[in-house]
Amino acid sequence: MTDELYTRIVYDGLEAPSIAALPGMKARCIIVDGFSKTYSMTGWRLGFGIMPRELADRVGLLLTHSIGSTAHFTQFAGIEAITGPQDMVAAMVTEYQRRRDVIVDGLNSLPGFACQKPQGAFYAFPNITGTGMSSDQLANLILEKAGVALLPGSSFGKFGEGYLRLSYANSIENIEKGLERIRTIL
């Protein structure tokens, strides 16, 4: 199963090829995708799967009995999103890339932070071991004292310890404000 929700949000002219495109893999893959990221339709609860026909028939039965069906107006919105003009997607990716550069540069200027540039999606994942705090401690401190919500890397498993995760699906103005607030409490 390959979750390809972020494949269209890639930067620096890169591409995120699907494993299903490799020779012989199409029949062995289930691609799951949706509208939340590419079309900013988070909360619409609409997604789709691409899989071999025999499997699709069985998954269709399962979904019918587990969720009934997706609201019909939401499905029409999804059709519009996929079949309509796609220039907004490219414009959004360009904007996300600008935001990425602002947040990564800002994080790297904070004491004890070291952040690599992500090549896709919209999350920065800085290493914060230089602050001397655990990711839980720092995430709580930043929430309580700076009013900035982010996730401790440890919430992604033990190898996430020592990192924070910040979303940059927000305006540059707010990103800069958030970074400044974090800077004042470090």
C-beta of 5 vs 93, nearer to ligand PLP: 5
In this chain, which of 17, 19, 42, 109 binds ligand PLP, going by CB under 6 A? 42
15-34 footprint of ligand PLP as x/- string (CB under 6 A): -------------------x
- β-strands 31-34, 2-3 pairing: parallel
Q: Which two tokens stand for residue 2?
A: 């390959």
Q: Which is nearer to ligand PLP, 33 or 113 (CB)?
A: 33
Binding flag, residue 180, ligand PLP (CB under 6 A): no
CA–CA distance, 70 with 64 (Å, rounded to integer): 10
- Measured between alpha carbons, how far is 21 from 104 in angstroms, rounded to an integer? 32
Query: Are 31 and 2 spatial neighbours (Cβ–Cβ below 8 Å)?
Result: yes
Judged by beta carbon, residue 80 or residue 176, the one nearer ligand PLP is 80
Rounded to the nearest 10°, the torsion over CA 5, 8, 14, 19 is 50
Tokens of 75: 């499905």
Member of 18, 20, 31, 36 binding ligand PLP (CB under 6 A): 36
- Between residues 37 and 162, which has the closer beta carbon with respect to ligand PLP? 37
Residues between 134 and 173 with contacts to ligand PLP, criterion CB under 6 A? none
